[in-house]
Amino acid sequence: MMTTKKLMVVDVTGQVAWSSSDLTIAAVDASGLVSTAAAGSALLVASLEGKTASATLQVSDAILLSLELTPSQLQVPLGVALSALVKGTFSDGSVVDLTSQVSWGAPGSGLVVVTPGQFRASAKGLARLQASFQEREATADVLVTDAVATALQLGSARSLAALPKGTLARIVATASFTDGTALDVTADVTWSSDALAIAAVEGVMVRAVGVGATRLLGSYQGRSSSLDVTVTEAEVVALSVRPPLATAPAGDFVALSATATYSDGSSGDVTDQVTWSSLDPVAVQLSNRLNEHGHAFGLIRGAQTVVTAQLPSAGLSATTLVQVGAPAVRGYRIDQALSVARRTVTAGADLQLSATATYTDGTTASATAQLVWVSFSPSVAVADPYSPGLIHTLAPGSATIVVTLPDHPLIWMSAVVFVR
């Protein structure tokens, strides 16, 4: 009779002795767990009770398990360059920087790839950055905002090294932005001054307030710059001559004056500082001599000409009209004043005195009827109120006859009449 043996298959993994032909490639522990260290092949052997079994293990390169793109979210101003980093986690547990190996892209967005991991924001809006490698992909959302200022430059339409007090100068602030543009941002700049008593900003203008030096500071979007300002004494901005129409008596002068208006609103007399000239010096002659500046002498009666005052230091001039009028009275005299005989008369007799006016052009004329005649000794003689200059004598003695101007009683002259 034939006997049959029954075969049994038993898991003896934990009972065998394990070994590897190349521990640099693979190692196996007592429980049969294999750990790989490098690509290659190694022979794994299991021994139990004189029996052995083996298997060849082929170890391939580690495989990529995942990609990580950092940062995962970005906000960047238009025109600014940004950097991203990609790390890969492999099956062997290693984490490797793959930034230069991945394929980069930002399809349909405002991001431009400059170099691996380097990008530039070229258009506003939300963009998605992509990195792919070995069929793995990682993304990051990028919000491209308005361009921001990178620098601020300040300037002025006129020199601020010597700004006359009271004047204004336009200042210009130009900001450079991350997208390469430059804009005038003067109206949006925040201004400050080291000394508001010297210079202050009003809108887009700097006003010179007081003599001295200061510094203006302008700030915009975190960028700042400065301007040095030196305020000097006020400058002459206008020149005028008075009167606007002057009349010089023939043979005499009329005094003209020149007034300067300054940049700080003040004014002052500059009659002695200007140079006076006449368009027709034959008719009207101007003086620039000491204590005679602005004297316009009338030479030809009835003439009229333009007189100019020039202030070379300010580059300004002003004009007026001067006409030559009738000669003015230069003085009066009692004709009999120098002759005692002509002023001596017998009591009861009348004495006719006369007066002569001398004019600025050298001519003379009778002025007897134009004057007021009064006797200061009415017991000796009286002046006839109806016949200018006629003296009625009453008694022997002397009488002082005073002559005055009708509208200027304090201007007078006199002569003594002797009565026998």
pLDDT digits (tens, 9 = 90+) for 296-351: 999 999 999 999 999 999 999 999 999 999 999 988 999 888 788 889 999 999 99
Q: Are residues 280 and 213 in the same domain?
A: no
Q: Are residues 244 and 290 in the same domain?
A: yes
Give pLDDT, residue 3.
Answer: 60
pLDDT above 70 for 379: yes
- Identify whether 348 is part of a domain: yes
pLDDT > 70 in the chain, percent: 97
- Identify whether 85 is part of a domain: yes
- Identify whether 7 is part of a domain: no
- Identify whether 6 is part of a domain: no
pLDDT above 90 for 188: yes
Q: Are residues 395 and 363 in the same domain?
A: yes
Identify the band that residue 69 occupies on the pLDDT scale cut at 50, 70 and 90. confident
Give me the chain's average pLDDT, please: 90
Of the residues 59, 83, 110, which one is the last residue of a structural domain?
59
Q: Residue 71 sits in which domain range?
A: 64-145
- Identify whether 123 is part of a domain: yes
Residues in the chain: 420
Q: Are residues 406 and 334 in the same domain?
A: yes
Q: Are residues 315 and 348 in the same domain?
A: no
Amino acid at 394: L
Q: Are residues 334 and 400 in the same domain?
A: yes
Q: Among candidates 361, 357, 363, 275, which has minimal Cα distance to 324?
A: 361
Q: Are residues 219 and 301 in the same domain?
A: no
Give pLDDT, residue 1.
Answer: 55
Q: Are residues 54 and 85 in the same domain?
A: no
Q: How far apart are CA 148 and CA 189, in angstroms?
A: 14
Give pLDDT, residue 273.
Answer: 96
Q: Residue 180: is it exposed, middle or buried by C-beta count within 10 angstroms (0-12/13-18/19+)?
A: exposed
Of the residues 269, 291, 325, which one is the last residue of a structural domain?
325
Q: Are residues 212 and 253 in the same domain?
A: no
Give pLDDT, residue 75.
Answer: 83
Cβ-proximal residues to 353 (8 Å cutoff; 6+ apart), any chain: 334, 335, 336, 343, 368, 373, 389, 390, 391, 401, 415, 417
Q: What CATH number does residue 388 fall under?
A: 2.60.40.1080
Q: Are residues 241 and 313 in the same domain?
A: yes
- Identify whether 4 is part of a domain: no
Q: In what order do the strands lie in the sheet with 364-366?
A: 329-334, 355-359, 364-366
Q: In this predicted model, which residue has the larger pLDDT, 112 or 242?
A: 242
Q: Are residues 161 and 204 in the same domain?
A: yes
pLDDT above 80 for 2: no
Angle at 111 (CA atoms; ends 110, 117), nearest 5 degrees:
170
Identify the band that residue 154 occupies on the pLDDT scale cut at 50, 70 and 90. very high
- Identify whether 11 is part of a domain: no
Per-residue pLDDT tens digits for 266-291: 999 999 999 999 999 999 999 999 99
Of the residues 299, 325, 351, which one is the last residue of a structural domain?
325
Q: Are residues 26 and 79 in the same domain?
A: no
pTM over 0.85: no
User: How many structural domains does the chain have?
Assistant: 5
Q: How far apart are CA 126 and CA 111, in angstroms?
A: 10
Per-residue pLDDT tens digits for 402-412: 999 888 877 88
- Identify whether 1 is part of a domain: no
